[in-house]
Amino acid sequence: MKINSEKMRNIFRIFLLSVFSVSLSSCVNWIMEAPSFTLRGIALQPLSLTEMNILLDLDVQNTNSFNLTLKSFNYKVYLRDEEIGSGSLEKELLIASASTTKIQAPVGAKFKDLNTIMKVVLTDGDLPYKIEGNAEVKTILGSTRFPFTKEGRINWKN
């Protein structure tokens, strides 16, 4: 049984294209800088007598020369080393090249979990925070997932 030479060339081209695609997507970590996250503010939204939503005002900075799409973003939030809740973004977000995009990230929390934090907020406006989690970013070169941790202090009273 003879294989047509044109068919063989097409199979070889498809194979090379597949190898190139896999190689390119695995190199995305070498080419892309992960976006950075900075907490700018915290807003409280009561949902019921026992639950509240905390909205984190975040700046997402993309230092790359190409756009990024934040496909998933899952996180836990700590104030004064106490976990106050966790959350995730509901939809994909475009982060333009060489720019900062402001986002609001919801955190579900129960009032009983915030008892200590509320005492701190009322007495001391300068709070140490930590946000940690995982993000998945899509680029023109492919997708990558990375862990992140951001620590700092936020002045609650300003």
Estimate to the nearest angstrom the gap between the alpha carbon of 19 and the chain centroid: 29
102 three-class SS = strand
pLDDT grade, residue 118 (50/70/90)? low
How much is the pTM?
A: 0.70
On the question of pLDDT at 22 being above 50, the answer is yes
Strands 36-46 and 68-79: unpaired
pLDDT tens, position by position, 54-94: 888 999 999 998 899 999 999 998 877 888 889 998 899 99
CA–CA dist 19, 21 (Å, integer) = 6
On the question of pLDDT at 139 being above 80, the answer is yes
DSSP notation for 85-141: EEEE-SS-EEE-TTEEEEEEEEEEEEGGGGHHHHHHHHH--EEEEEEEEEEEEEETT
pLDDT score of 126: 75
